[in-house]
Each structure stands twice: as C-alpha cells, then as structure tokens.
Amino acid sequence: MQSGFSIDGATGLLREARQVLSPHFDERPPGMKPELIVVHGISLPPGEFGGPYIEQLFTGCLDATAHPYFTAIAAMRVSSHLLVRRNGEVVQFVPFGQRAWHAGPSNWQGRPCCNDFSIGIEMEGTDDGAYEAAQYQALAGLISALCEAYPTLARERVVGHSDIAPDRKSDPGPAFAWPLLKELLA
C-alpha cells in the first residue's frame, strides 16, 4: 500500500504530521532500534473527543482544574510518538529515534520495557466506541511508512497496548477493528 506519509531519516520526524514536541522522552538504549508498533486508544476527558487535552497531557501542560478527571493524571509524564485524531489528522510528539513514554510496565514475547524498542501510536477513541474510517486509513499509512523507513519494523509486529500490558490496559479495546487494519495493510 502507498502510505502517503514520509519520514525524515535525519530527524525521525513525519513530514506530514503537525509537530507538538513533548519534553517526555529520552534516549533508547544504545543500539536499540524500533521493532514493534503499539496501538493505543485515548480520549480526554474519557469519552470526549477533539479538545486540546491529549496534547496538553503529552506536553506536561494539562490543567488539573480543567476537569475533575484531570486531577489524577495532570502530573503524569507520558507521551507517544504519534496521535491520530478522529478526522485522521496526525500529530507527532516524539521523534521515532527517541524513546516515548507510552507503554509503561510491559512485555512482548518475553521482552520487558517495550518503550525501549517500540513506536507508540495513540488513536483518539475509547475501548467500546467505533474508531473512524479516516483513522484506520491514516494508521495503515503510518505503519507502511514506518516499516519502509525502519527495516526492523514489520506489519506483523503491530500490537495493542492490551497485548503488552494485559493486566493493566485494555486499549485500543474490543471496538478496534483489527481485521480492517490488516486488510488495509495487505
């Protein structure tokens, strides 16, 4: 599939993304390359879409008084490489060569610390609500572009947050259409 996306190999930035760089990242361990793509689901406040709050959370600027739910999360230092909005818009927070803080305690095929070797993509959505067609199109294009730019990645190594942290996380949730994504990647 043609992705429609391109990655600047020198900077690790997606040329077509809106850049909102996060301070919440660090270096990958020496010699570590991205080998896994982790799909997440997020909405802030829970179940609400389109506001500035995800970007504020990932950049450390979330106002704890803006919503009662935010008091518990405003001080968290989290990020993701990318966010795919409901309309398919892509926002980048962390260059791909850096380690974003998206997976938390995690394990994939016996390897702990998935942040070390993964790229995190947040989908704006909820576990039990349908994601939008534009999001699946964007996600498939992103995966294709990432696999092209980083030969250590593969379409077969795309997992949900729930796959690498099953005791803690349920996202992107049962409403996420994995068969549709696989079809778009074929």
148 labelled catalytic: no
From 122, 148, 156, 183, the catalytic residue:
122
How far apart CA 26 and CA 181 sit, in angstroms, is 30
Instruction: Give domain limits for the chain.
Output: 22-185
CA torsion angle for 123, 127, 129, 134 (degrees, to 10)? 20
Residue-wise pLDDT for 77-127, tens only, equals: 999 999 999 999 999 999 999 999 999 999 999 999 999 999 999 999 999
- The pLDDT score that the predictor gives to residue 3 is 72
Residue 130: beta bridge partners?
none
How far apart CA 94 and CA 119 sit, in angstroms, is 9
Is 70 exceeded by the pLDDT of residue 1? no
Is 90 exceeded by the pLDDT of residue 140? yes
Residue-wise pLDDT for 28-53, tens only, equals: 999 999 999 999 999 999 999 999 99
| Paired sense of beta strands 36-42 and 111-112, if any | unpaired
Is 80 exceeded by the pLDDT of residue 2? no
User: What superfamily in CATH does domain 22-185 come from?
Assistant: Peptidoglycan recognition protein-like (3.40.80.10)
- pTM for this predicted structure: 0.97
Is 70 exceeded by the pLDDT of residue 147? yes
